[in-house]
Amino acid sequence: MNLNQGNTTMKLLNIFKSFKNDESGAVTVDWVVLTGAVVGLGIIIANTMGGSITTAAGNVGADVIENSNN
């Protein structure tokens, strides 16, 4: 093995070690997963309660119209 091959091997090992220790990408993935979970829960809640909210809004509107005539 000549000297240049040893340098190349050490450089590659240093690159792999720094890649292994770098966690900045992992934080990004965590935020993407967390944001996706929040959006998913919002969609589930909106679909579950959507009909009830529409009914309640209709009842409030009817009460406002009924009480505004008095």
pTM score = 0.49
Q: In the prediction, which pLDDT does 44 show?
A: 94
CA gap 5, 47 in Å, rounded: 62
* For residues 50-68, average pLDDT: 90
Number of domains into which the chain is organized = 1
Chain centroid, CA 37 distance in Å? 6
Token couple for 52: 């009830």
The domain of 45 spans: 3-68
pLDDT at 54 over 70: yes
Instruction: Return the pLDDT at 27.
Output: 77
Radius of gyration of the chain from its Cα atoms, rounded to whole angstroms: 30
